[in-house]
Amino acid sequence: MPAVPLVSIVTPVYNGEAYLGACIESVLRQTFSEWEYLIVDNRSTDGSAAIAEGYAARDPRIRVVRPDTFVFVHQNHNRAARLIDPRSRYAKFVGADDLLYPECLERMVAVAERYPSASVVSAHRLEGDRVQGEGLVPSGTELMPGRTVIGRALLGPPWVTGSPTTLLFRAELVRRPEPFFDENVWHADTDAAYRCLLGADLGFVHEVLTFTRLHPGALTNFSHRVNSYLSHSGRMLIRYGRKVLSPAEYRRLLRSWLWSYGFYLGKQRLKPSRWREQEFSTFHRWETERMLTELGAEERREVRVALWCCRHLVGGHHVEARPRLMAEAASSPGGAAATPGSSERPAHG
């Protein structure tokens, strides 16, 4: 291991033996060598731990940690964040089913070093066979104010994250005492990026530096089944909209989202089969109750009434059932963490 690793690379994994070796190899091929690689195995029942330990035996920069308890995916990410080297300057989470292209760290670190105000560095990525991230930052521009980036993202695609593997963070932000990933937010990677960007800038590399693998992983499957992306848009708007948008723009966007969300839930209400799906009703009841809790005191009464109506359109199980449901989505057969090749990354949006 280098005397002082400049970058801490982190891969939380559960049952990822199908792709973990390729992921580790992509780290080993980096043209930038001042890194440590921390692999946190969340009590895998396949060969993930053995694969990771085999590489660690051959390269001292690789550390494998296998805690005694299985935890929910966001908790495993936070557990891993607390284990990075206290001296590292940057942190990069890499999904066990994703890949870094050889110049990824070199290019991203160069931008971060050039612009100390950048708390997050992003780049284009290949997702399946499509290049993502185009249009977020104008061509030829390496730095953009974080609030501008969040505002653009709240208005619609392209979004700032897309995949946790795409981003490089300043490690001081990851190491803060409070959990880096909010365990009450399903798309926690987006929320973490926005939080970092509120008081800083986004650095950007106009090259494809990472590969996001698409396969039947249940975190993504769960997100599609319950349409978590729609409620996520509202939660991020409520959390960050007033901070980065003009009052008129925020109200217009919030009204539009409330109409879309209410119309969607109303349509689902007409489908009896939908309301036999405990995961759907539990998830959206949790989301609406969290949004009602997070609304600022200055929010208009009609917004609260609209969200209250959305919550009652959902019906379903009490909000306390949501953590259990999320754990089941991440660990049961057919669930995220039990799926071969699962990256154990927070579902991205």
Going residue by residue through the chain, which has 349 residues, state the pLDDT in tens, using 9 for 90 and above: 555 679 999 999 999 999 999 999 999 999 999 999 999 999 999 999 999 999 999 999 999 999 999 998 889 999 999 999 999 999 999 999 899 999 999 999 999 999 999 999 999 988 877 887 777 788 889 999 999 999 989 987 766 666 789 999 999 999 988 999 999 999 899 999 999 999 999 999 999 999 988 765 546 678 888 899 899 999 999 999 999 999 999 999 999 999 999 999 999 988 878 767 788 888 999 999 999 999 988 888 889 999 999 988 887 555 555 555 555 554 433 333 333 334 455 544 4
Q: Is the peptide bond before 179 cis (omega within 30 degrees of 0)?
A: no
Tell me the Ramachandran region of residue 135: left when phi exceeds 0, alpha when psi lies from -120 to 50, beta otherwise.
left
Residue 339, pLDDT score: 33
pTM of the model: 0.87
Q: How far, CA to CA in Å, does 72 sit from each of 12, 134, 245, 289, 344?
A: 11, 32, 34, 21, 9
| Residue 10, strand partner residues | 38, 93
Q: How far apart are CA 161 and CA 108, in angstroms?
A: 15
Is the backbone of residue 334 left (phi > 0), alpha (psi -120 to 50) or beta?
left
The predicted pLDDT at position 213 comes to 82
CB atoms within 10 A of CB 116: 11
Look-up of token digits 């409520």 = 238
